[in-house]
């Protein structure tokens, strides 16, 4: 594993030809936040590398997640108002830093195809940050260790994977008018501020009790879901047209390049396998879902970050799309363990405390594997491009 290369040597020259291509239709980015970002980037010294800006933003999410582990391990606790405000500040800083790292690269004269590729490769950190962010949001909405939290996080992972898969096949990153990462950061920040001001109890109120102009007798016929659960329903429903749009764009790109559409759609198998394994494991191990969901979802977040990171690297190096890999192994082991009673009529090989130990082992494995992937890719790219990761090795005239 120490000598394993994630970028085959024959694909390294493609690093020099990579060009970041995005279609950003976000009205908020263009007309509201553009000037804010232009002023924000000026606080960073010209000696600071753009990747350091990205890393500093990511660390704010990690800090907020650690605070959440201390105050809300069950994802259902009512927290002091200042904690929600802290979450809002950390998430806003993360989104702001992520938005200006490209500007910092241009200010320091380190932009260009290679710099853009390296910055895009760091998006694997954003996958982890997004997963941790959704657990923070689940806490603020008092979703608890339930299927609602699982569905909420899974919808975010699905959206990220489909956009990454779409970019691989179309060579373009599409950001919608109101459905891009900027809008997600704004909604999360506003949600945390609102929770801090009004209390987390606002998310526990039943929706049917607050529908105007509807008789109480008719309102009682509606599902008994609260506002936090309603948010999950809306996000899952909104995911459907987003996925369909991604599949449509992939189909158009494949037809234009005369490639197999079916083969391109099959590239969703790595994620579908993660989603299926996660569901089967949690369904057959209710104690994990109701008592150790944060631990389990942290493991899944690291595993997913690795899987998507492999796709990102394949995209920027024009390598074949990565299929099932070693990070799927712990998921498949857990799934097989969960299905053991149904398949063989016997107790699970890992049950009770042993299964919890299995999850811990999977988390450690995922952390080591993901860490090795990040450090190895950074080393390969830096060595080939003769650059440093977090410092500017060859200062150029600032633009």
Give the count of beta carbons closer than 10 Å to the beta carbon of residue 34.
Answer: 12
Helix (H, G, I), strand (E, B) or coil at 381: helix
Distance separating alpha carbons of residues 59 and 230, to the nearest angstrom: 30
Name the residue with tokens 């890393």: 55
Catalytic choice (120, 169, 315, 328): 120
For this structure, is 210 an active site residue?
no
Q: Alpha helix (H) ranges present in the chain?
A: 27-28, 34-40, 50-71, 81-107, 113-121, 123-140, 147-170, 181-198, 216-219, 227-257, 261-265, 269-284, 286-291, 293-317, 328-344, 353-385
Under DSSP, the state recorded for 177 is S
Backbone angles phi, psi at 226, to 5 degrees: -90, 180
Helix (H) or strand (E) holding 24: strand 22-24
- For residue 174, list its beta bridge partners: 23
Give the count of beta carbons closer than 10 Å to the beta carbon of residue 170.
Answer: 21
Distance separating alpha carbons of residues 383 and 114, to the nearest angstrom: 12
* Residues classed as catalytic: 120
């Amino acid at each position: 594993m120490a000598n394993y290369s994630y970028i085959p040597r024959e694909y390294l020259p493609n690093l020099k030809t990579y060009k970041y291509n995005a279609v950003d239709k976000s009205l908020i980015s263009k007309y509201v936040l553009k000037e804010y970002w232009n002023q924000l980037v000026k606080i960073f010294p010209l000696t600071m590398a753009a990747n350091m800006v990205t890393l500093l933003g990511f660390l704010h999410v990690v800090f907020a997640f650690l605070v959440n582990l201390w105050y809300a391990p069950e994802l259902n606790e009512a927290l002091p108002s200042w904690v929600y405000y802290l979450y809002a500040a950390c998430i806003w800083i993360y989104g702001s830093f992520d938005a200006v790292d490209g500007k910092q690269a241009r200010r320091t004269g380190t932009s260009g195809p290679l710099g853009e590729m390296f910055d895009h490769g760091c998006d694997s950190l954003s996958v982890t940050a997004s997963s941790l962010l959704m657990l923070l949001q689940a806490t603020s909405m008092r979703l608890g260790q339930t299927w609602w939290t699982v569905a909420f996080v899974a919808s975010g992972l699905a959206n990220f994977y489909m956009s990454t898969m779409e970019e691989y096949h179309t060579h373009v990153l599409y950001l919608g008018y109101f459905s891009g990462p900027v809008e997600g950061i704004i909604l999360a920040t506003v949600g945390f501020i609102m929770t801090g001001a009004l209390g987390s109890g606002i998310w526990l109120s039943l929706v049917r009790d607050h529908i105007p102009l509807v008789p109480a007798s008719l309102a009682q016929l509606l599902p008994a879901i609260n506002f936090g659960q309603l948010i999950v329903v809306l996000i899952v429903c909104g995911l459907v047209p987003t996925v369909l749009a991604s599949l449509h764009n992939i189909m158009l790109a494949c037809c234009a390049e005369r490639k197999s559409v079916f083969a391109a759609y099959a590239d969703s198998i790595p994620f579908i396998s993660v989603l299926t394994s996660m569901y089967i494991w949690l369904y057959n191990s209710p104690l994990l879902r109701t008592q150790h969901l944060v631990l389990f979802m942290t493991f899944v977040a690291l595993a997913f970050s690795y899987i998507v990171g492999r796709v990102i690297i394949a995209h920027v190096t024009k390598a074949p799309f990565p299929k099932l890999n070693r990070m799927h192994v712990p998921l498949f082991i857990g799934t097989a363990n969960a299905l053991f009673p149904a398949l063989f009529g016997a107790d699970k090989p890992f049950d009770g405390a042993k299964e919890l130990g299995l999850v811990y082992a999977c988390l450690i494995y995922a952390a080591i594997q993901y860490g090795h992937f990040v450090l190895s890719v950074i080393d390969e790219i830096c060595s080939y491009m003769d650059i440093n990761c977090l410092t500017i090795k060859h200062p150029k005239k600032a633009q």
